[in-house]
């Protein structure tokens, strides 16, 4: 072994051997403790590439609309994720990274959100947003889309239910709704972007909407609110649309207080699966991504949803014959 050209330092140095002029001014300072995250580091941004594999802009033919999507995974059915109001497709980042080994995750920035660009970003009506989702599926997969499981959070859940009810996606194989069962919406606020960003869009009852309008500060006269607010509301029938969808359904809730009469009866009749995810807030997919991902993948497995639709055990597609060499 060749000897090192570096000479070793003596383990101890006597006082008379030291050269004061060569000592560092910081010689007496103790070693720096292990680096700990500062508050700014704790809240520093993370790159979406750590969770999704790629992003893509989907241009809609015969329009100037361009919808931004994040994609993860290469195999399995497509889990098409629709975020809530004020969120973006990146709301599903952590969940996507956990699902992409068994499914293809596509998280879309809805109109007026994220990196998507629309001719009229103020038109956030349910009809327009449903058409957006269907148009994106058409632009991405043509006339032969793979099996699709629609997953919608809050506002996105409402959109997902309406898309499912329209039967516009022929290969829809499942519907998962996250923490949304509200039946009324503020119709007069649909086209008001600034107000939308700060106001509640859906209420479980007319009474709740009136209470919110007073407690939220928009109105101060309760009697006036009881007269003026009801006409601004429209009944969506979201629960009935959810129950009527012919595909397997999963409802994820942060609390059972959101169940209305129609859903309570439907749940008792076994028309859909319901899971109450405890110790979470409204954005279940962000608060507990591991549990959320497991629930979605178990839903896909239990309903035997494959890349091209429902796969029945015992019925396998024949293998394609390989040409002889």
Among 179, 213, 239, 245, the active-site one is 179
pTM reported for the whole predicted model = 0.75
90 near 70, Cβ under 8 Å? Answer: yes
Q: Is 65 a known active-site residue?
A: no
Domains of the chain: 42-233+255-303 (3.40.50.1820)
Nearest of 160, 162, 154 to residue 181 by alpha carbon: 154
108 near 67, Cβ under 8 Å? Answer: yes
185 near 232, Cβ under 8 Å? Answer: no
The β-bridge relationship of strands 78-82 and 148-153 is parallel
The β-bridge relationship of strands 54-59 and 66-72 is antiparallel
Q: How many residues does the chain have?
A: 325
Nearest of 249, 288, 319, 274 to residue 95 by alpha carbon: 288
**CA 48, CA 66: separation in Å to the nearest integer?**
20
Residue 22 has a pLDDT of 44
Q: In sequence order, what DSSP letters do the residues of 161-175 get, joined into one string?
A: HHHHHHT--TTEEEE
Q: In what order do the strands lie in the sheet with 184-186?
A: 202-203, 184-186, 233-235
Two tokens, residue 163: 């898309």
Among 95, 154, 239, 245, the active-site one is 154
132 near 59, Cβ under 8 Å? Answer: no
Q: Is 83 a known active-site residue?
A: no
The β-bridge relationship of strands 202-203 and 184-186 is antiparallel
Q: Is 282 a known active-site residue?
A: yes
* Packing angle of the helix pair 155-166, 126-141 (nearest 10 deg): 70
Two tokens, residue 35: 């680096």
Residue 45 has a pLDDT of 86
Two tokens, residue 102: 């068994």
**CA 215, CA 49: separation in Å to the nearest integer?**
41
Residue by residue, pLDDT tens for the chain (325 residues) are 444 444 344 444 444 444 444 444 444 555 655 656 566 678 788 999 999 999 999 999 999 999 999 999 999 999 999 999 888 999 999 999 999 999 999 999 999 999 999 999 888 888 999 999 999 999 999 999 999 999 999 889 999 999 999 999 999 999 999 987 655 454 443 333 444 444 455 666 778 778 877 887 667 788 888 887 776 666 677 888 999 999 999 999 987 766 778 888 998 999 999 999 988 988 999 999 999 999 999 999 999 999 988 775 554 443 333 444 4
**CA 301, CA 99: separation in Å to the nearest integer?**
12
Two tokens, residue 125: 């009506």
Nearest of 65, 101, 106 to residue 83 by alpha carbon: 106
């Amino acid at each position: 072994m060749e000897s090192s050209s570096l000479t070793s330092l003596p383990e101890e140095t006597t006082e008379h051997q030291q050269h004061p002029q060569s000592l560092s001014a910081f010689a007496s300072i103790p070693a720096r403790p292990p680096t700990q995250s500062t508050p700014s580091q704790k809240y520093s941004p993370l790159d979406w590439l750590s969770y999704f594999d790629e992003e893509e802009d989907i241009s809609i033919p015969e329009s100037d609309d361009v919808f931004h999507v994040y994609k993860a995974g290469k195999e399995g059915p497509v889990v098409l994720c629709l975020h809530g109001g004020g969120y973006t497709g990146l709301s599903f980042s952590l969940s996507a990274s956990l699902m992409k080994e068994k499914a293809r995750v596509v998280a879309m920035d809805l109109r007026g959100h994220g990196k998507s660009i629309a001719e009229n970003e103020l038109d956030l009506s349910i009809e327009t947003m449903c058409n957006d989702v269907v148009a994106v599926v058409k632009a991405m997969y043509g006339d032969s889309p793979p099996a699709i499981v629609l997953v919608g959070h809050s506002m996105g859940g409402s959109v997902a239910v309406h898309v499912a009810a329209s039967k516009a996606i022929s290969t829809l194989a499942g519907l998962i709704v996250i923490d949304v069962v509200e039946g009324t919406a503020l119709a007069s606020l649909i086209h008001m972007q600034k107000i939308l960003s700060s106001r509640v869009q859906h209420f479980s009852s007319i009474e709740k909407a009136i209470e919110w309008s007073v407690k939220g500060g928009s109105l101060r006269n309760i009697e006036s609110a009881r007269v003026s607010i009801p006409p601004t509301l429209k009944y969506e029938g979201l629960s009935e649309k959810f129950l009527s969808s012919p595909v397997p359904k999963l409802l994820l809730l942060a609390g059972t207080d959101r169940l209305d009469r129609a859903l309570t009866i439907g749940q008792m009749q076994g028309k859909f699966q319901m899971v109450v995810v405890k110790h979470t807030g409204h954005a279940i997919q962000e608060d507990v991504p591991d549990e959320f991902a497991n629930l979605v993948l178990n839903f896909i497995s239990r309903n035997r949803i494959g890349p091209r639709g429902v796969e029945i055990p015992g019925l396998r597609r024949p293998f394609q014959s390989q040409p002889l060499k």
